[in-house]
A and B are shown apart, each in its own frame.
Chain A
Amino acid sequence: MSGAINQVSRPSQVNDFVVRFANVNGTGSASANFLFAKAIFRMGIPVTPKNIFPSNIQGLPTWYEVRVSEKGYLGRREGIDLVVAVNAQSFEKDIQSVRAGGYLIYDSTKKMHNNLIREDIHYLGIPMMEMCNTHFTDPRQRQLFKNIIYVGALSVLLSIEFEVLETLLAEQFAGKEKLIAPNIKALKLGANYVLEQFQYPLDFHLQRRDLVKSKILVDGNTACGLGAVYGGATVVAWYPITPSTSVAEAFDKFAGKLRVDKVTGKKNYAIVQAEDELAAIGMVIGANWNGARSFTATSGPGVSLMNEFIGLSYFAEVPAVLVDVQRAGPSTGMPTRTQQSDVLLAAYASHGDTKHILLFPSTPKECFELTAKSFELAEYLQTLVVLMTDLDLGMNDHMSEPFEWDDNHEYNRGKVLTEEELENMGRYGRYLDVDGDGIPYRTIPGTHPTKGGFTTRGTSRDEYAAYTEDNKAYQRNMERLLAKWETARELVPAPEVYHEANQHNFGILFYGTSTYSSEEAKDILEAKGIGLDAVRIKAFPFNATVKDFIASHQQVFVIEQNRDAQLRSLLMMDLSIAPEKLVPVLNFDGMPITADFIAKSIASHLFQEKHLQHDLYQTHI
């Protein structure tokens, strides 16, 4: 069914396309699809794989999207060039998802219904099931190798180097070498079928490059878990919830290798699966209070449960680190989709006047670095630090700069008094602002026999931690906490400003996983003559650079992945910015934001506000 179609084919494109796999989850497709993505990466070409998966263990539709971009754009792109549709359940929808002029690979063992034929796409039928049944006897292999067969077919259609696939299989099955040969056999079945039946390569395909260099392909949760090992976390308490589970699992895995005493075999860490998120954060606060670096990882529902304890951390000034891998909404289902929708929840979690430090990593490398950094900040500022990642960053593999650690860096445990310091000082006051930065001195239980002991409480205490319900003492303490907040403002990571001097009237502002697509949108718009300055936020509270950036532009587009423009609200509240200065650009359907969407939203706003001429807006972007 391939052949002529009613569509002008696009000029041949190298290293610039999107492939989507439509599978049934639980059928082993994930590792085959990853093999495909990894092979492209090994050919030195920038690649971004994204899993779009159901909240289910087996049997529901699942998709895997791979974007290949010579220019190194790592955001999701609209317009799917090729769909591998091997899920009968979603088949109709999958056919519709191919762009006009694109390709559909499907299992032609059973004849396809005529009413499923679209005139404007190419159909490449491969009898995958039949091939499996002919060549393999084991029922599990028959299912698994269907996936490998289509990877083999793609290798010819898109010019993947076969040796790269062989190497990857050899690495994957090191120690289980028996499995290599049948996998290669399946790859070849697919490849040979294409060689015999179709024209190849397709009008878009791959060509080896050297664009990857030392970069790694890794997910953000792995990076967070590793960052916590490097950051010196010793007590981890967690409760399973997608998409955060793999943070604790990664910590456990790395600590199991890197943190076990060689002589005694004992562990230099403790990890506890708590009974719920309340207990998880309670353990984290107890451990930090007692002088250990401790963290938990969760998602929105867990943060909701943790609210009371989060306030305690703020008021009692106990350090704590919380990784929030954000997802879409409550319950089950959409939660396996991505969003940046916990920003306000996390920033103001708990009762009373509270606000919390948020860090926004946007790459796995930053997940690693900022997780490690959050322990320093939490201890130095004696408060909760929330690392705000999301499902897209946490669970998808991203091409990232490699992890690095400066061996000269020493842990900064903040203002903690030692036994000698306590011995040689006058009266100790836990909540005294000795240095004028709002940060008081801590003591750890067990330090000194007669000095430095006190009872930690939420409120109702004076500078010496003695119980009091005096209103003035309460107010003084709240004001000191505010002074501490101002100290934090310049201690947290500074934003990344893309141009030293601001050149344009309009700016864009973004954070976390909106970064890749925002950068790409900026290029798209620039090519159309619309110049924009850009800033990437890395932390809340916002430091002075953010305020300056906004002040020096007529308007700033705030790009984020939630319905209510949450970071925009935060900017308005924290920096007293007039609402009309900040224009929201919002994607909140649970799919990662795309550059096209951003570019169109911005262009349309500028057009409506008459900053853009009609014809410029009309150009296809």
Chain B
Amino acid sequence: MTYIKPIFRHPKLPKNKIGYTLKEYEGAISNLCAGCGHDSISTAIVQACFDLSIEPHKVAKISGIGCSSKTPAFFLGNSHGFNSVHGRMPSVATGANLANKDLVYFGVSGDGDTASIGMGQFVHAIRRNVNMVYLVMNNGCYGLTKGQDSATADQGSKSKAGSINPFQPVDLASLAVELGATFVAQSFSGDKGQLVPLIKAAIHHKGFAFINVISPCVTFNNNVGSTKSYDYVREHMEMTSKLDFVPQESEIKVDYEEGEIAQVTMHDGTRLQLHKLENEWDPKDRLSAMNAIQRARAKEEIITGLLYVETRFGDLHDILGTSDIPLNKLTAKELNPGGAALVEINNGFN
């Protein structure tokens, strides 16, 4: 069975600045379980891209394998997607990004896909500061292979079958901060209000933008005793800040009291305006981000929102010094040195 939506456009559907309706950012109908957290994240991505008026085909969606990695088919149907191999999305995204620096890259992964089989590639994509949004739909289990614990499952968390996870979890957000990711955020699939501006900010960030989204698996890990269930996350969420995303051309409206506001100017001039809820935290200070994460952990809270952002560093293209024209647009004229150059090269070998 294939899932292609009937095309129906309501004449009065609102359009964004470049004339597209929200529908044009949607994808095929999801075949995930009803209520799966991943579907809410897809909806948030659709909303963010619509709001930002990104041309749908200027996005490339790349994923690994898992329920989460299937989602690129369910958002931005006019964009190219690549459901690649388990745990290797970062390398495919890195190669794709090197080929064309002008697209927006959405890397979609799961906690199994990233924190286990794909840990090595995750780490190295961060090191290289690949300009992409790296979104983990984190449900603490392997959904697609039917519910095994993943490496992000909390110690003591109970599975649906009743077993208790005895192992320490991998905390992807603190790992990303530790490794020097230049944008690190954490959110919850059930909090669209927070997720949408975070995705927008991540898209505008030039460099590696990591969002770890807790995304409950209703089929295998939404039971009592699981620390990745809807109920548990709702009860234990603690926000760093309320985030407003201010596009380049808009003016900043200061609605908050002085002293509670933190502002971050992105590479392209857009600004993030953060209404801080956490006092001892500064989004531009890596140490305070680490501390905020650890403080929340000690209290068995899940800290959400933007955790850390660094806008001073160049991305992989800047580091490598590649041409301004995307490499995939170069023609033989720029690429081929021609027969004459070979004469000289041959002379070097005789």
Contacts and interface: CB of A to CB of B under 8 A. Distances in A.
Interface string B121-148: 1011000100000000000000000000
A279 interface: yes
Contacts of A443: 80
Given A283-B92, A289-B96, A292-B100, A234 B80 contact: no
B57 A237 contact: no
Nearest to B121: A279
Given A308-B88, A445-B57, A445-B60, 14 more contacts: A229-B337, A234-B328, A235-B98, A237-B94, A272-B320, A275-B121, A283-B91, A287-B95, A288-B95, A288-B99, A291-B100, A292-B100, A312-B84, A458-B85
Given A229-B337, A284-B95, A275 B120 contact: yes
Nearest to A219: B349
A216 B80 contact: no
Contacts, number: 242
Nearest to B337: A258
Interface stretch (A85-93, A154-162, A337-345, A397-405): A397-405
B45 to A, nearest CB: 14
Given A282-B88, A286-B62, A259 B322 contact: no
Contacts of B99: 234-235, 286-292, 294
A292 B60 CA distance: 15
By secondary structure, the A interface counts as loop
B98 A445 contact: no
A285 B94 contact: no
When A and B form their complex, which 8 residue pairs have the shortest distance between CB atoms, in order from nearest?
A282-B91, A286-B95, A283-B95, A292-B99, A455-B81, A445-B80, A286-B92, A216-B349
B interface, how many residues as a size bin? Answer: 35 or more
A214 B94 contact: no
A245 B118 CA distance: 25
21 contacts: A226-B345, A229-B335, A261-B334, A267-B323, A272-B98, A276-B120, A282-B84, A282-B92, A286-B82, A286-B94, A292-B99, A292-B327, A308-B88, A411-B332, A445-B103, A450-B57, A455-B81, A455-B83, A458-B83, A458-B85, A470-B1
Interface stretch (B71-79, B161-169, B248-256, B285-293): B71-79
A309 interface: yes
B350 A217 contact: yes
Contact of A272 (B94, B328, B332): B94
A453 B77 contact: yes
Contacts of B323: 261, 264, 266-268
A608 interface: no
Interface in B44-96: 55-58, 60-62, 72-73, 77-85, 88, 90-96
A76 B342 CA distance: 29
Interface string A220-239: 00000010011010110100
B200 to A, nearest CB: 20
A239 to B, nearest CB: 11
B79 A294 contact: no
A407 B120 CA distance: 43
Given A292-B328, A403-B346, A455-B81, A287 B98 contact: yes
